[in-house]
Each structure stands twice: as structure tokens, then as C-alpha cells.
Amino acid sequence: MKILVLHAHPVETSFNAALHRLILERLAARGHAVDDCDLYAEDFDPRLSRAERLGYHETPQNIEPVRQYVDRLRWAEALVLCFPVWNYGYPAILKGFFDRVFLPGVSFNLIEGKATPSLHNIGKAAVVTSYGGSRWRAMLMGDPPRKLAKRLLRSTIKPLAPVTYLAHYSMNLSTDASRDAFMRKVGATMDRF
């Protein structure tokens, strides 16, 4: 399977970076064709420019500033996101990726003013993330990253495609044992992906 891995963390020695490496290793070991899109390493610019916003609905011209990322997204049959939750949301670089790459004519089409999802080449997705706070605290805030993955992302990709959400909560209180257990869970999930 052709899998696009989107990684969003600036520190190569972080727990998130270790998760990213594990994801890549396990997917490659299973024989998948993996496109590793490390947004920080690639110096992705998350800012939607004035010109991009003005031309947002002008397909196919709207993809030109981010064509290489659109091509990679269209190539993929599956998507794996690996990022930390910061301030109850995506890191800005990942949010910017969605703003700039998930465009009309790419992830959805506008038909008579109504958005119709169109990323049907993506047949499955997985999210691997970590939260500084507890699951309870995330729930009190509405857990936007989980909702975006389980609702919005699911509705954008192939209809009825599975979306797996793996989260290590309470990183601020994590232990070697809790991190090891989560790594095993992520590894096993990627082995079955």
C-alpha cells in the first residue's frame, strides 16, 4: 500500500520523533511504499498567503503553490498523522498543511456551493498523538484533535474508511513504562495497518 506519513514535531529527540521513527520502520518492514513528509524537516510554510486565499476557489490554479504536497496526497492510498497536541489542537505547521493543501479540487469539490468530499484515494487513516494533560481534561475541552480526525478527516477520505486514533494522554506525568506500552500499541497497529 502507498502510505503518506505526515509528521509535525520540531525536536528530533522528542517522544513524538521516536513514534515517527517507529511508524516508518514498521510500515516499511511490512512492505508498504512510504512517503515520509516531515513538515519541519521539509521547512513547510504553514501560512496561507493573501494570493492563495484570493485564489482559493480557482481550481486547478489553486494547487500551484503547494503542488508537490497535493501530488503526494493524491498518490497515497492511506494516511498516517504523527503529531503532539498543543493547546488542545494541532501544531500550527500541521494546521497550515490542512489549510494550504486540503483545497477545493483536492480534498473536496464545491458543487452548487456545497462541499463534497473527494479524497477517495485514501482508504484508511491513523492518527498517533500525545497530550500533555489527561484524557478527562481533553474531554472537558471537547478534544478538538480527536473530533477533527474521527469526524472531519473520516468524512473527507473514502466513504466508510477506517480511522484509527491512538493517543498517549498525560505525557506530563508519563513514565518509561507508560511510554513503552504506548510504543508497543503503536507498533502493533502499524504492523496491522
Which neighbouring-strand residues pair with 168? Answer: 130
Give the pLDDT of residue 175.
Answer: 95
Distance CA 62, CA 103 (A): 8
Round to whole Å and give the CA distance between 85 and 165.
13
d(Cα 106, Cα 116) in Å, to the nearest integer?
Answer: 11
Quick one: pLDDT band at residue 19, thresholds 50, 70, 90? very high
Question: Measured between alpha carbons, how far is 138 from 73 in angstroms, rounded to an integer?
Answer: 29
* Nearest alpha-carbon partner for 56 in 19, 108, 122: 108
Q: Count other C-beta atoms under 10 Å from residue 43's C-beta.
A: 8
List the domains of the chain with CATH numbers: 2-192 (3.40.50.360)
Nearest-Å Rg of the Cα atoms of the chain is 17
Residue range 69-74: mean pLDDT, rounded? 98
Res. 41 pLDDT band, cuts 50 70 90: very high
**Tens digits of per-residue pLDDT, 76-115?**
999 999 999 999 999 999 999 999 999 999 999 988 888 8
Is residue 31 predicted with pLDDT exceeding 90? Answer: yes
Could you write out the three-class secondary structure of 43-61?
Answer: CCCCCCCHHHHHCCCCCCH
Edge-to-edge strand order for the sheet containing 33-38? 33-38, 2-7, 78-85, 124-131, 163-168
pLDDT single digits (tens) 146-157: 999 999 899 999
- How do strand 33-38 and strand 2-7 relate by DSSP bridges? parallel
